[in-house]
């Protein structure tokens, strides 16, 4: 009569531990990549909002008012220079997320005239401070633009 032993052999235990270890590494890698993708998408969203803000403000002000101030700044929107983004604008009171301070922007305004129609081309560039990869996927700068036409 043979005696049966219960339990697992050392080889079976080691094989199970190795499989579990590989699964744990895979799950942690998935979580890490997910977090990285989420952070990249969030920074892209913040940069997009920073770029669209002056476009919306200038649309509201209108072509003529912006043209009148080309040689200076409008509120704290300075033209043709890189500006750091503040969480709260001293001139306008506009509040931005804390992460907005990781970016800077440049606003370029170009007057346009054709067939007695006056307009302005507003271009906004946003980039991370310190040359960091703020947008992910190797994107170094975000550019947005609009044309604002003078209304009769």
Concatenated DSSP letters of 3-54:
PPP-S--HHHHHHHHHHHHHHHHHHHHHHHHHHHHHHHHHHHHHHHHHHHHH
d(CA 74, CA 107): 11
Please determine, for residue 39, whether its predicted confidence score (pLDDT) is greater than 60. Answer: yes
Q: What is the DSSP letter of 67?
A: H
Q: Where are the domains of the chain?
A: 10-149
User: What's the rounded mean pLDDT across residues 133-149?
Assistant: 79
How confident is the model at residue 139, as a pLDDT? 63
Q: 31 with 51: CB under 8 angstroms?
A: no
Edge to edge, the sheet with strand 142-149 lists: 82-84, 103-114, 117-128, 142-149
Contact 116, 149 (CB under 8 A): no
| Average pLDDT of span 2-23 | 88
- pLDDT tens sequence across 13-31: 999 999 999 999 999 999 9
Q: In which element (H, E) is residue 85 found?
A: none
pLDDT digits (tens, 9 = 90+) for 51-87: 999 999 999 999 999 999 988 889 889 999 999 999 9
pLDDT of residue 137: 53
């Amino acid at each position: 009569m043979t005696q049966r032993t219960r339990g697992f052999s050392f080889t079976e235990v080691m094989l199970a531990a190795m499989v579990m270890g590989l699964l744990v590494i895979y799950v942690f890698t998935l979580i890490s990549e997910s977090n990285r993708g989420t952070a990249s998408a969030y920074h892209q969203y913040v940069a997009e909002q920073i770029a669209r803000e002056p476009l919306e403000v200038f649309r509201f002000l209108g072509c003529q008012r912006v043209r009148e101030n080309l040689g200076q700044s409008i509120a704290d929107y300075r033209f043709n220079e890189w500006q750091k983004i503040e969480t709260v604008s001293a001139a306008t009171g506009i509040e931005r997320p804390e992460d907005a301070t990781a970016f800077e922007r440049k606003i370029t305004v170009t007057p346009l005239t054709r067939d007695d129609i006056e307009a302005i081309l507003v271009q906004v560039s946003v980039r991370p401070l310190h040359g960091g990869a703020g947008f992910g996927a190797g994107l170094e700068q975000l550019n947005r633009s609009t044309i604002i036409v003078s209304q009769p």
